[in-house]
Amino acid sequence: MDQEHGPMDTESVSGPLSVLKMIDFTSCYWKVVKIQALCAPSRNSLLTSRRPDTLHLYDFYSYWRDVAGNFTTLPQYFKQHGYHTMSVGKVFHPGVSSNWSDDQPYSWSQYPYHPSTQKYKESAVCSNSDGTLGKNIVCPVEVHFQPGKTLPDLQSLHAAMKFLKERQGSHQPFLLAVGFHKPHVPLKYPRKYLKHHPLDSVQLPDVRQRPSALPTVAWNPWTDLRERDDIAALNLSFPFQPIPDWYGKLIKQSYYAAVTYIDDLVGQLTNQLDITGHSNDTIILLIGDHGWSMAEHGEWSKFSNFDVAVNVPFLLSIPGQTEGCSRSSHALVELVDIFPTLVELAELPGGVPPLCPDNSSSVTLCTEGISLVPLIQQEIASMHQENQAKVSTPRWKTGVFSQYPRPGIYPTYKPNSDKPRLKDIRIMGYTLRTQRHKYTEWVHFDDNKADWSQVIARELYDHKLDSGEDLNLADRPQFAKLMGRLSQQLRAGWRYSLPKHIEPWSFIVAKRDEPWEVKKGKDIPLRWKYHVGKLCAGRPLPAPFSCLDRSDELSGVLAELREWLTLLMALFLFNDVSEAWYGKKALGGVGKEKGVSLFPLQ
């Protein structure tokens, strides 16, 4: 895992990169949407397979086991199945959000390793033009002059390589999680990597100003950078004065150099797998926790719902399967999908965790994602198929979700609008990303709950015409109908966008914004194209199915109806069909009414 791995123009790289080689020759590549462009929420979502609204974590200052539930983590699940689990570097976000222990002893078989030189992260070691040292964003260094004569990620590399050497010959399976810090700010890296990125080859994006139609609540003023000595010396007015192009190129050059530095370390680590005999039986996953803007939209940080901030690379190498894979997938993928994917690939006896119910606070093991194995199998099959048209595409998500909090509608230092604490959050920007569109609603937020009746601002981007998300179409009347559909999908939530495969005798939960009434013994037809479902209102069912028994598992579901009752949620049963697609155009009955969301009861 690396930090802040945003977009990188591979054509500007003049040296061989092991990660690019990994993409070209030994792995398949996906672009993953993370849940929130901030370290702790992103990492905890990945490692628990739960979303920020479930974890109640939008900042750095709460531990999910204390405030949300005693949730089983990805490494914990592997540990429970006999794996030796080890954490090196930044895996969980350190501090309160991982109980000051990286979730030890739950997740790890031995105490996590942290490099001793990480404490010098903010030290004044960056060279200025006048010969002084500062705390800069641009910070190429000579390693032998650094405290301890090393850097944190070099220490983490050596610790990980030592672990692999010690595991040589062991028959116990292992899960090794290595968290490299760079290219997280400050951009401190060995100076030698600058040679791969001559300054005259570094280009800034064509559009690098704040879009005129962008709501101020959606924009971040990159407060992280403003705290650095070199940026402060530019004397920029807060919040909108841009960084001058000449210095922007220096920042981007250092970002590229920091990525190349980490790429080199990843290459050394994968070589150690070969040396220690682990490469033929080890799944390798390379992923980041969030992206980073480099002048896109006039921003120089994460802290937003833009693709450049929420998209991260996802490179997967599976021995004996992905060799020769040079493919990139455009499927919609989220960080919460990683947990179930690795479990299925490793074939753990406990199997892939079940999908979480609406309220999962008391459910220790479940997932709010789905396994990517069907996509992986499809990519591998396509790679080996002469006529790729013969390879069927699996049903997949119709949308993925991200969110970001704000204390108010205007960028501020205090409270920090880039990194607001929970007590200061008053607005939440919820984003839906489909294959073509990006849609966001900024809504009032209080007490860990969104108030969808108070929409403060909207954003709509058409990626077919505007992949950079520079033109907000939300105020254009010709897109009102499209926005209505996207708004309904956004508010229905992530379950509504899951693959719509339903087995025979599957239960469906229908939630409605307003009540409908049901009378004992009566059926309300709920119809979709080609399929019909009926409300299960206290009617007898073939064993082992019982509406009452199944409904007891969901709070608020009433299935045995003795009198006229007012319901916000009802349980339906599909039968005599092998598949049903719901959430499409409804033909009649309850499904035609506005405000109905549908999802399978797992």
Dihedral sign for Cα atoms in the order 303, 140, 270, 375: positive
Last residue of a domain, one of 495, 520, 553: 495
> What angle, rounded to 10 degrees, do the helices at 373-384 and 338-346 form?
60
Quote the pLDDT of residue 226.
96
Q: Among residues 480, 495, 510, which one ends one of the domains?
A: 495
Phi, psi of 429, deg, nearest 5: -95, 110
β-pairing, 507-518 with 28-33?
Answer: unpaired
Question: Who wins on pLDDT, 535 or 553?
Answer: 535
Report whether pLDDT(519) > 90: no
What CATH number has the domain bearing residue 56? 3.40.720.10
E strands, 220-378, where?
Answer: 284-287, 311-317, 328-334
The whole-number pLDDT of residue 28 equals 56
For residue 31, what pLDDT is reported? 58
Q: Who has greater pLDDT, 193 or 529?
A: 193
pLDDT band at residue 321, thresholds of 50, 70 and 90?
confident
Two tokens, residue 427: 């607005």
Residues 331 and 193 in one domain: yes
Taking residues 132-154, what's their average pLDDT?
A: 97
451 and 386 both lie in a single domain: no
Answer yes or no: do 460 and 444 share one domain.
Answer: yes
Give the mean pLDDT of the chain. Answer: 80
Residue 202 and residue 120 in one domain: yes
What are the pLDDT digits (tens) for 55-113? 999 999 999 999 999 999 999 999 999 999 999 999 999 999 999 999 999 999 999 99
Residues forming the active site:
39, 93
For the segment 383-393, the average pLDDT, to the nearest whole number, is: 56
- For the cut 50, the answer to whether the pLDDT of residue 468 exceeds it is yes
pTM: 0.81
Let me know if residue 395 belongs to a domain. Answer: no
What whole-number distance in Å separates Cα of residue 192 and Cα of residue 599? 53
Count: domains in the chain: 3
Whether 519 and 455 map to the same domain: the answer is no
Q: Which domain holds residue 511?
A: 500-600
Residue with tokens 């709070």: 555
Helix (H) or strand (E) holding 45: helix 39-48
261 or 359, which is more confident = 261
Are residues 253 and 355 both part of a single domain? Answer: yes
- Same domain as 476, residue 516: no
pLDDT in tens, 218-234: 999 999 999 999 999 99
Which amino acid is located at 380 in the chain? I
Q: Is 3 domain-assigned?
A: no
Taking residues 313-327, report their average pLDDT: 80
Tokens linked to 22: 């990994």
pLDDT exceeds 60 at position 471: yes
Mean pLDDT of 490-511: 64
- CATH number for the domain including 443? 3.30.1120
314 located within any domain: yes
Mean pLDDT on 250-272:
97
